């Protein structure tokens, strides 16, 4: 009896400590945006919405969120379309050297990180005139995300029965019609997953836009956030807290959406 009691007290104490460790850093983000004159210390907010007014008046805040959106959506479109096409072909047609290609792609995408490739990517962007270009950044981000995306979507394709395609073919549909009208609807959950995954990645990415976009008007929220707290003078905590919250909310919504719809757990690749 005493042992279970001691065990319970130990359990709840440890949980409380861990909960505090993970919660305390986040409190500021929840409280400061609604406090009239926020400091670094977490205080009970007085539930004002004036700080959101300062965001609307800020010259770059809202624009940077739009930039983040452009980069995220642009990259997601490109990644979804290109990875789906490639994965479908790789799943259905035995292209010579397919397995070696997939193995090489998986290897490359895991070792060529932003840190390892920042010097050549920066130089490549200069040579190709892609500095300060959203298109250039989208292409670079797409190149980095595609291998993993092809891998994930190919799993969906492999798991899709071929009988639909076979029957469509029997009825005389052309291969392109089959891909558009038969395959795409069937793998739609997979495509949605890749889209959400890409958007989340690009939305949070700091290093690449920081390296490749020097024009403040074009920088996404990640870079503006960093500029707000590192540029000289006293940091404007009203702007910072509120902007940080606005920038974070879409990520949280996406997480809730994904975990509600699919469950946010581990499957396949990782678990093997």
Partner 1 sequence: MAQVTSPPKPAEVVSPAPARRYSSDAAGLGRLRAGAFVAPALALIAVFLVFPALWVIYLGLTNYRLTGAAAAEPQFVGLDNFVKAVTDPEFWDSTWLTFQFVLGSAVIGQVVLGFTLAWMLKDRRGTLKSVVEGLVILAWILPSAVVSFLWVALLDRDAGTLNALLGIPGFAWLLDHPMLSIIIFNTWRGTAFSMMLYGAALGNVPPSHLESARLAGASGWQQLRDVVFPHIRGHILTNLLLISLWTFNDFSPFLLTAGGPDGKSEVLAVHVYKVALQNGDLGYGAAISTVILLINLVVAVFYLRLLRSKK
Q: How far is the CB of 46 from partner 1 (least distance, A)?
A: 18
CA distances to 62, 93, 138, 217, 224 from 135, in Å: 20, 32, 5, 15, 19
Rounded Cα–Cα distance for residues 185 and 179 (Å): 9
Q: How far is the CB of 53 from partner 1 (least distance, A)?
A: 21
Given the structure tokens 């940091």, which residue do they identify? Answer: 235
Rounded Cα–Cα distance for residues 34 and 211 (Å): 33
Whichever of 74 and 147 has its CB closer to partner 1, that residue is 147
Whichever of 29 and 48 has its CB closer to partner 1, that residue is 29
Whichever of 55 and 105 has its CB closer to partner 1, that residue is 105
Q: How far is the CB of 55 from partner 1 (least distance, A)?
A: 14
Whichever of 32 and 213 has its CB closer to partner 1, that residue is 32
Q: How far is the CB of 51 from partner 1 (least distance, A)?
A: 15
Q: What residues contact 101, with CB distance under 8 A and at least 6 apart?
A: 90, 95
Q: How far is the CB of 217 from partner 1 (least distance, A)?
A: 18
Q: How far is the CB of 43 from partner 1 (least distance, A)?
A: 9
**Residue 171: DSSP 8-state:** T
Q: Is 160 in contact with 183 (CB distance < 8 Å)?
A: yes
Whichever of 39 and 53 has its CB closer to partner 1, that residue is 39
Whichever of 50 and 262 has its CB closer to partner 1, that residue is 262
Q: Is 33 in contact with 53 (CB distance < 8 Å)?
A: no
User: What's the burial of 129, exposed, middle or buried (CB within 10 Å: 0-12/13-18/19+)?
Assistant: exposed
Max intra-chain CA distance, the chain: 75
């Amino acid at each position: 009896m005493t042992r279970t009691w001691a065990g319970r007290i130990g359990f709840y104490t440890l949980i409380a400590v861990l909960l505090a460790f993970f919660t305390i850093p986040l409190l500021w983000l929840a409280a400061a945006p609604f406090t009239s004159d926020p400091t670094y210390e977490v205080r009970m907010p007085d539930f004002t919405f004036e700080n959101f007014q300062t965001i609307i008046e800020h010259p770059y805040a809202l624009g940077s969120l739009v930039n983040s959106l452009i980069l995220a959506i642009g990259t997601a479109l490109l990644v979804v379309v290109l990875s789906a096409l490639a994965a479908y072909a790789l799943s259905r047609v035995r292209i010579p050297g397919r397995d070696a290609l997939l193995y090489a792609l998986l290897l490359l995408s895991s070792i060529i990180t932003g840190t390892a490739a920042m010097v050549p990517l920066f130089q490549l962007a200069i040579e190709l005139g892609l500095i300060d270009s959203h298109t250039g950044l989208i292409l670079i981000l797409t190149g980095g995300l595609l291998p993993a995306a092809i891998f994930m979507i190919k799993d969906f394709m492999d798991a899709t029965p071929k009988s639909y395609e076979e029957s469509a073919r029997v009825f005389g549909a052309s291969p392109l019609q089959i891909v558009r009208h038969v395959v795409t609807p069937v793998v739609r959950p997979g495509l949605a997953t890749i889209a959400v995954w890409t958007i989340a990645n690009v939305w949070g990415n700091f290093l690449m836009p920081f390296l490749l976009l020097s024009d403040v008007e074009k920088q996404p929220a990640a870079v503006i956030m960093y500029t707000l707290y590192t540029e000289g003078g006293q940091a404007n905590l009203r702007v910072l807290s509120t902007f940080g919250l606005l920038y974070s909310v879409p990520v949280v919504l996406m997480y809730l959406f994904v975990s509600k719809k699919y469950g946010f757990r581990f499957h396949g690749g990782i678990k093997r």
